[in-house]
Amino acid sequence: MTDPTVADVAIVGAGPAGTAAAIVLAEAGRTVVLADRATFPRDKICGDGLTTGALRLLERLGVRPEAVASWTPVHDIHVGSPSGHVATFPLPRDRGQFAVVTRRMDLDAALVDRARAAGAKVLEGIGVRGASDDGRHVTLSFDDGTVLRADHVVAADGMWSPTRKLLGTAEAGYLGEWHAFRQYFRDVGPEARDLWVWFEPDLLPGYAWSFPLPDGRANVGFGIQRGAKIATKEMKALWPELLARPHIARVLGPDAVPEDRHQAWPIPARVGELALAKGRTLWAGDAAAVTDPMTGEGIGQALLTGVLAADAILAGGSPTQVAATYEGAVRRELVADHKMSLLLIRALQHRKGARAAIRVAGATGWTRRNFARWLFEDEPRAIAVTPRRWHRRVLRRDGAYVGR
C-alpha cells in the first residue's frame, strides 16, 4: 500500500452532490479530495432539467450560466393530459431564471471546474475498491493504488453506491422506484423550443417529455413507476410507438432526427428509508435515494444533500453528532416533500385524476402561474403543510440569476 493522501474530507463521486459538498467545504478552508471513476466531461443519463430550487443552489455555489455550454432557460411549460387537452403554464420572464435545461455532461463538468477553483483536489478516472473506518479516520483505497485517509467521507457515488457495499449498508436487489428512458434529437420543430410534458394514459403515473436544448436539439424521453402498467423490459419496444403518437410527433417536427443511442436508467426515490450515515461517512444524492418520487427530478435534491452534508461536517462534533446533524437536516428539508409527492402520485395513477389535476391547475391565469412555480420547486413541494417554512413571499420571490 502506498502512503495515504491525508485530507479533512474525502468525497467519492463528482456529480452534483459530491461537487456541492466539495465547494462548500473547500471554501470554508477544509482540505478536500474529490474522486470519481469517470473523467470529465462525461455523459450522465438524465432528463437534464433544473428546477428553481436547483438553480438557486447553483447560484449559491458560484456556478455561472456562461460556464455551462448548453444552458437553456425555459419560459413556457405545456402539459398534456390523458384526454389530449393541453394546458400552458408560464414562468416569470423578467425576475430571474425559474427553469433551465442543460446537458448533464456540461453541468457536471462545470461543477467539477468550480470545485477545483474553490480549492478541492480532484482525482478523475479512479474507482473506490476498499473502505475502512477505525473510529478516528476513514481510509479509502482506489483501483489505481491511490489511498486516501480522511476525518470524514461524503459518499455521493450513485444509486448502487460502492461505499455502501464496502461499509455494509447496501440493500441487495434494490432496483429503484422509477425507470426512465432518454434520447437526444436534433433538427426539432419550433414547438420543441418550449418544455413539454405528456401524461399518457398507459404511462400513468409516469409521463413523457421533450426538454429544449440549444441549436434545434431536445432531450426526449419517458419515465414509468416500477410495477405500474408498463414493465421496464417493455420500454425499448414502446419507444418508437411513443415517438410516433401524433401529438408528440407534431411537437418534435417532421425533420427531427435521433442523435446517438437511446439509454435507460433506474431512479432511486426513497429518502428516509436508507441509512444516511455510518461512522464518519455520510451518503448524499442518489446514494441517499433523495429523488422526487413524483417527477423523478434529482439534481436539486442532490445539490441540497451535498450542501447539508458539508454543513454538518463544518458544524463539528463527534461522528455521531455530525451524523445526527446531517440526518436531521435531510429529514427537515426533504421527508415532508417526499411524502407529499407520494400522495400526489395516487391522483396521477388514473386518467380521471390526472385530467382533473391538469384542468384545475390551468383554470385561471393565477393558477397557471403558480402551478408552474410550484411544479418547478420555487418553494418546497409540501410547503402548504409545513408552516415552519412559510414566509411572506411564498411563490413571489425572484428566481435565480436575476439580471442574467
Domain presence at residue 17: yes
Same domain flag for 296 and 316? yes
pLDDT at 3: 81
Q: In this structure, are 274 and 308 located in the same domain?
A: yes
- Which has the minimum average pLDDT: 11-25, 33-47, 163-177, 206-220? 163-177
Mean pLDDT for the chain overall:
95
Q: Taking residues 278-287, what's their average pLDDT?
A: 98
Residue 336 domain flag: yes
Q: Are residues 163 and 61 in the same domain?
A: yes
Let me know if residue 33 belongs to a domain.
yes
What is the residue type of 26? A
Let me know whether 144 and 293 are in one domain: yes
CATH at residue 311: 3.50.50.60
Final residue before a domain boundary, out of 232, 267, 302: 267
How confident is the model over 44-55, as pLDDT tens digits?
999 999 999 999
pLDDT tens for each residue of 69-101: 999 999 999 999 999 999 999 999 999 999 999
Tell how strand 121-124 and strand 32-36 pair up: parallel
Extended strands (E) in 30-124: 32-36, 49-50, 72-73, 76-80, 86-90, 100-101, 121-124
| Tens-digit pLDDT profile for residues 247-275 | 999 999 999 999 989 999 999 999 989 99
Per-residue pLDDT at 229 = 87
Q: How many whole angstroms separate alpha carbon 77 and alpha carbon 196?
A: 6
Banded model confidence at residue 1, pLDDT cuts 50, 70, 90: low
First to last CA, the chain: 50
- Mark whether 54 and 108 lie in a shared domain: yes
Backbone angles phi, psi at 228, to 5 degrees: -85, -155
Residues 51 and 128 in one domain: yes
DSSP 8-state secondary structure symbol assigned to residue 206: -
Percent of the chain topping pLDDT 70: 100
Query: Do 55 and 141 fall within a single domain?
Result: yes
Whether residue 48 is found in the same domain as residue 106? yes
Shared domain for 314 and 194, answered yes or no, is no
Note the pLDDT tens digit of each residue in 354-400: 999 999 999 999 999 999 999 999 999 899 889 999 998 998 999 99
Residue 88 lies in a domain: no
**Is residue 404 one of the residues assigned to a domain?**
no
In a domain, 217, yes or no: yes
Overall pTM surpassing 0.95 (yes/no) = yes
User: CATH code at 231?
Assistant: 3.30.9.100
**Does 280 lie in the same domain as 307?**
yes
Note whether 253 and 286 are same-domain residues. Answer: no
Q: Other CB atoms closer than 10 Å to residue 220's CB: what's the count?
A: 27
Within a domain: 196: yes
Instruction: Please report, for residues 207, 308, 348, the alpha-carbon distance to residue 293 in angstroms, rounded to integers and kept in the order given.
Output: 13, 20, 12
- 192-233 pLDDT, tens per residue? 999 999 999 999 999 999 999 999 999 999 999 998 889 999
Among the three residues 328, 343, 358, which one is the final residue of a domain in this structure?
343
Q: Is residue 211 part of a domain?
A: yes
- Within this chain, do residues 331 and 254 fall inside the same structural domain, yes or no? no
Q: What is the Cα–Cα distance from 120 to 124, expressed in whole angstroms?
A: 12
Q: How many structural domains comprise the chain?
A: 2
Enclosing domain of residue 205: 178-267
